[in-house]
Structure 1
Amino acid sequence: MALAVLVVAALACNLPQAAPSAEPNAAFTAAALTVAAQLTQVAQTQSAPTSAGSLPPPTNTSLPTIAPPPPTIAPPPTLPPTPTQICDAAAFVTDVTVPDGTVFAPNTAFVKTWRLKNVGTCSWTPSYTIVFDHGDQMSGPSAQALTSNVNPGQTVDLSVNLVSPAVNGSYKGYWKLRNPSGVTFTQFYADVKVAVLSSGFDLYTRAPDAAWIGGGGGGGGTILTFGGPDSDPNGFVMYRSGFLLEDGSSPSKILETHPKWVDDGVISGEYPAYTIVAGERFRAKIGFLAKADGTCGAGKVKFQLNYKEGGSLHPLGTWTKNCNGNLMTLDVDLSSLAGHSIRLVLAVLADGPASQDWAVWVAPRVVLP
């Protein structure tokens, strides 16, 4: 059975041309003419002889020879430096848990996990340790040994148990790795905020504020009005407080979400944004309304809890349920989303025909235990 898809020039280079070089013979000729002119000028400025007589024959003076310039020797190529091999080195990959700026209530225990990569040439063994370096220690250990070998090129998730401080504010603790010789390397940190926040989100009370859509069966989605009617062929959502459920109970907070009345029909509701507080959990019971005589109908559906963040839909859980006389209890840890502003999405998908898919959520809520 297919699950129904949830709705949602380069510049031209005019380099100046170098002036044409004079031919070597022309350069030598110009030099010779210049020297000859200088000699003529000297001869003309000499004083005339004091006595008459024959002038001495002129002395033939040879012109100096101009030597050609020496050839240009290209410098030897520069060799790249030889890379230095480092034994102990790590590279930060990502925060597996508790992204920077996560908000915690005071005195809240949490686990901080970093993903690091061994980018050195030496393997990390259990003789290597995570050590607190400086900043806010947040009740973390001063040193904690690695639990397995990490060879060069491998990644590893390293975790420490921390507790948020008792006073509101921003806190940052720095940690490093330490080798068996006591040398520390590669800094990483935990960055959290502590604030007294109002916690809890009641999905039952806020159901009228959600955007409900019915769809499936190859057709498009249809916006549904909260409160029915329960005869709407596109599906419906409404309160059913006090109705009889398949287990014989009649709770006060029953939210019925019936998918579109087609094979593999769907109904989904996207709630307003809510910022998750560290330690919060989603809790509810799921099941079916009973028939008038208290017995089960033929309902069979998939319940889904999803969340939307940044326009993308992410699953938190899927539970297949048929009417069997028992409710199913849900308890989903939302700690990985602490500090995130998300939109929770409830969905029900018909597992085949939608007849008697009287699917209910009993007291759906986000709570801080």
Structure 2
Amino acid sequence: MSRILPSRILPAILLILIPASACSPAPAPTPFIPPTNQAPLIEPTLIIDSAQETAPTQQIIVLPTILPTIDQSNCVNNLTFVEDLTIPDNSFVPFGSSVDKQWLVENSGTCNWNAGYRLRHVGGAVLGAPEEIALYPARSGTQATIQIIFTAPFTEGVYESSWQAFDPNGLAFGELIYLRILVSP
């Protein structure tokens, strides 16, 4: 009997509560407030005076570009090796083949490299490359690619060619860069 009573009372309570909840009073409507009057529009008029002089034409004055000057006499030279772009160290190369070696370096000094800066062979085999090449242009803080074309010899073995940067006064600076190849038939 205790089970029957709640099962009959619960639906009866729901039947009473649902219709009762719909009997709440309707909300009051929002009163209409008409817009305020706007100022009257004044039509624009254009008055042309024929006696008025025309405006003078504008003259363009080109100002010289002022570039900051860097005192190159007190700058510091430096070259930092970043990565081998071609021909990793200990690469196998056939006899007599052309070897296009490229290094990515950074001008990590405060001097800008110009036509007076050189890269010279300082050790190992020359491998058909020129003994000296130009090392320019590269502004301070930028990266540059150095490229040298070598020729593999016709003798089997391990070959290395080392290169050093030199400033216009002939002073060496920076890290050495090098090529190391394994030549075989």
Give the shorter-chain TM-score range.
0.5 to 0.7
Equivalent residue letter for 2:130:
P
Q: What CA distance in whole angstroms lies between the structure 1 residues aligned with 2:115 and 2:100?
A: 20
Q: Which runs of 5+ in 2 are unaligned?
A: 1-73
What's the RMSD between the two structures over aligned residues? 1.4
Match of 2:104 in 1: 115
1:184 corresponds, among 157, 172, 175, to 172
| Residue 106 (1) aligns with residue 95 (2) | yes
Equivalent position of 2:160 in the other structure: 172
Q: Distance in 2 between matches of 1:145 and 1:121?
A: 19
Give the counterpart of 2:149 among 137, 161, 179. Answer: 161
Match of 2:59 in 1: none
Structure 1 stretches of 5 or more lacking a match? 1-84, 197-369
CA positional deviation for 1:86:
6.4
Quick check: 1:151 aligned with 2:139? Answer: yes
In structure 2, what is the equivalent of residue 307 of structure 1?
Answer: none
Equivalent of 2:127 in 119, 138, 145: 138
Work out the CA distance in 1 between the residues paired with 2:108 and 2:171: 16
Which amino acid letter does the alignment assign opposite residue 137 of structure 2?
A: N
Deviation at 1:159, TM superposition (A): 0.5
Question: What does 1:276-291 align with in structure 2 at a 5 Å threshold?
Answer: none
Find the aligned partners of 1:136 and 1:117 in 2 and give their Cα distance.
25
Question: In 2, Cα distance between the equivalents of 1:86 and 1:193?
Answer: 40
Q: Find out whether 1:97 has 2:99 as its counterpart.
A: no
Cα deviation, 1:89-139, whole Å, max 9, x if unaligned, reads 011000011110111111111211111001111011121111101111111
Structure with the largest fraction of strand: 1
Give the 3-state SS of the residue equivalent to 2:160 in structure 1: strand
Aligned to 2:183: 194
Secondary structure of 2:128's aligned partner: coil
Q: CA deviation at 1:161?
A: 1.1
Measured in 2, the distance between the counterparts of 1:188 and 1:86 equals 22
- Separation in structure 2 between the aligned mates of residue 191 and residue 86 of structure 1, nearest angstrom: 32
Q: How does 1:251-266 map to 2 (within 5 A)?
A: none
Q: 1:170 to 1:152 in 2, by over 3 A?
A: same
In the other structure, the counterpart of 1:240 is: none
- Matched residues, percent identical? 25
Query: 5 Å matches for 1:1-369?
Result: 87-146=76-135, 148-186=136-174, 187-196=176-185
- Structure 1 Cα separation of the partners of residues 161 and 93 of structure 2: 15
Question: Segments of 4+ in structure 1 off by > 2 A?
Answer: none
| AA partner of residue 168 (structure 2) | P
Tell me how far 1:149 sits from its aligned partner.
Answer: 2.1
1:32-69 CA-to-partner distances (Å, cap 9, x unmatched) read: xxxxxxxxxxxxxxxxxxxxxxxxxxxxxxxxxxxxxx
Distance (whole Å) between structure 1 residues aligned to residue 111 and residue 103 of structure 2: 20
